[in-house]
Amino acid sequence: MREENWWRGAVIYQVYPRSFRDSNGDGIGDLVGITQKLDYIADLGVDGIWLSPVFRSPMDDFGYDVCDYRAIDPIFGSIEDFDALLERAHSLGLKVLLDQVLSHTSNQHPWFIESRASRDNPRADWYVWADPRPDGTPPTNWLSIFGGVAWQWEPRRQQYYLHNFLASQPDLNFHCAEVRRQLLEEVEFWLERGVDGFRLDVVNFYFHDVLLRDNPPRPPAERFAQGFSPNNPYAFQLHHYDKTQPENLDFLRELRRLMDRYPRKMLVGEIGDDDSLATMASYTSGNDKLHTAYCFELLGPTFSAAFIRQSVERLEGMIGDGWPSWAFTNHDVARVIGRWGDADAPPELARVLLALLFSLRGDVCLFQGEELGLPQAEIAWEDLRDPFGIAFWPEFKGRDGCRTPMPWDAEAPNLGFSGARPWLPVAESHRRLAVSLQRDDPNSVLNQCREILAWRRRQPALRRGDIRFFDSPGESLVFSRRHPGQNLIACFNLDASPVTIELPDLGAINPFDDAGFGAELEANRVKLAPYGAFFGETGSQATGPA
């Protein structure tokens, strides 16, 4: 693998710092705690880590409301703690990506405090301000993802400001050249410090329509939003004007030019849009914007082999020379076992989903605990911390259920996360899946995850190859991955019933050791057990088991 392109086919492990490991006994995870567990992450066989925000913040949205882009929040530690984490990660061969929230800040950021003071101060145009309509109502019909209108009245200026999320998260005005220059300086600060790249939060939200046109309504039959509450009015609009504006592409090119001055750095963008797949293709093509991007297509409630195939094939038909990333779970959605299964789902489901995720073309974002097969945690109303969930309870319970502390030790207080009461309660359903119980079990989801990742590293077709799907019965998926010198066939059964698959005519097939995946190859047929998987090397150059 060429070092400058290390990110192509990489597996990035997402760490949610508040919930990973508490080293100082205050009930909140921290940088020292992460550093103490970096050996565990490295042993998984991943290529790097993505740290959810650790910048100084009032924590209204748990770090996604930044009030100082260059300071570590004291609850996580110090800048020296971050430097130590970075050094240790690099010594273990792990890259480190920071979560950069550039679209908005906290309303406690000094920039906003100055901007809201008057209409003629030096930062007056740094945020999105607009006069009310003649009747005093907001300037557009735009809505906040977290519910309600996306405009907040500011009496000091007698104007509204835009917030696509909480009212305490005002949107920066990317039409202002000074804002763009300043944000590039904030990014460069961390590049100079040695980070290996950035995960860009809501990367298609940077620019708004300068003419402030109203969004059109979405037809009632189409009112859905992958990953969001089904009763969120945000899904009632087509978001033509509040995000994904054409000017965004020029800023991404500017940001990429900065990144290219620092060798071997990368950008992965988060995209939430009316047509997220098309935006992924647009934002990653041409080798002059994002290196890669992911969306919520496979992070929603829809689970079927047909939907997964349709999503991947549609993106492949548009992306050209761009490069995708895929995730089944992250800090914004219910854990995949909770969305696509239930709390009693067998470990085989977790294992086959990991095998499938690691086999798709693109990079992989693996959320902490996914390697353990953790189900979604149930959080009582009185324990909720997520403002999104509080606003939409009980129809939508928010994001706290995927953010509960990591279960390190089944016998320790708070499952080994902290000696104090954690900021979110540990999930009792996670006790039987703790690292301490899975570590020495060769058949555990954790160890099978390690085995799959170790095997994947040796397969150039899985890291860099193209992908082609074939028809198959029921809830099964069959596709090939091809790279010069290697052709692979991969089969997955996503159902609780066995299935027999007629393999496509790709030449001789030599099966790889299925590591207990429950597959039997007979001539050109493969029999898959419930939640089984099969990998084989195909063609006249097939070399047999790895």
Q: Which residues are catalytic?
A: 201, 270
Q: How far apart are the first and last CA of the chain?
A: 19
Beta-carbon contacts of residue 6 (< 8 Å; ≥ 6 apart) = 47, 95, 264, 266
Which of 274, 270, 236 has its CA nearest to residue 148? 236
Q: Please confirm whether the linkage preceding 394 is cis (ω < 30° from 0).
A: yes
Long-range contacts of 488-491 (CB under 8 A, 24+ apart): 488/459, 488/461, 488/462, 488/535, 488/536, 488/537, 488/538, 489/534, 489/535, 489/536, 489/537, 489/538, 490/359, 490/533, 490/534, 490/535, 491/519, 491/526, 491/528, 491/533, 491/534, 491/535
Name the token pair of 420.
């104090």
How many Å is the Cα radius of gyration of the chain? 23
DSSP character at residue 172: B
> From the centroid of its chain, how far is CA 145?
17
Residue type (1 letter), 30: D
Per-position DSSP letters for 64-98, written without gaps between them = SS-SEEEEE-TTT--HHHHHHHHHHHHHTT-EEEE
Q: How far apart are CA 155 and CA 163, in angstroms?
A: 16
Name the token pair of 403.
């953010």
Residue with tokens 């027999």: 500
Do 183 and 207 touch, CB atoms closer than 8 A?
no
Q: Residue 100 forms beta bridges with which residues?
A: 200
